[in-house]
Amino acid sequence: MTTIVFIQPDGTRREVDAKAGESGMQAAVRAGVDGIVGECGGACMCATCHVQVSEADDARIGPREAIEEEMLESVLDDVSPASRLSCQIKLRPDLEGLVLNVVEVV
Ligand code: FES
């Protein structure tokens, strides 16, 4: 189990215990976290799981795969280095305490 934290745009903080092998999006949808929809089921085709992360957490997650990069570029005018698709974040024990900042659904 890996505990991750979702922070809403208004600052509301919610801790979620992720199951082994879950993505950030799956953990959020299972827990009913507002603002994470996961419309495409994690196929990297919707960006309704968009989150932002700190530089330190981005380094812990690892670099974006090309498919994540392409999806972000197709829906965002300005892709911040902090932007990630939570369906592409596979939760591992070393990501304990990961903070995912929820952004408006695009
Ligand atoms: S759930 Fe669709 S891109 Fe992440």
Ligand 1-lining residues (CB < 6 angstroms): 25, 38-40, 42, 44-49, 71, 85, 87
Structure confidence at residue 12 (pLDDT): 97
User: Which residues face 2 on adjacent strands?
Assistant: 18
**How close is the Cα of 21 to the center of ligand 1, in Å?**
16
Structure confidence at residue 106 (pLDDT): 47
For 14-66, what is each residue's pLDDT tens digit?
999 999 899 999 999 999 999 999 999 999 999 999 999 999 999 999 999 99
Query: Considering the chain, what is the average pLDDT of its residues?
Result: 95
| CATH of residue 39 | 3.10.20.30
> 85 by DSSP, 3-state: which?
strand
User: In total, how many domains does the chain have?
Assistant: 1
Range of the domain at 14: 2-102
Angstrom distance (rounded) from CA 43 to CA 98? 22
Q: Point out the ligand 1 atom lying closest to the alpha carbon of residue 42.
A: 1
Task: Provide the CB-side half-sphere exposure for 23 (13 A, CA).
Answer: 19
Q: How many CB atoms lie within 10 A of CB 89?
A: 28
Place of tokens 């959020």: 28
Q: Do 56 and 98 form a contact (C-beta atoms < 8 A)? A: no
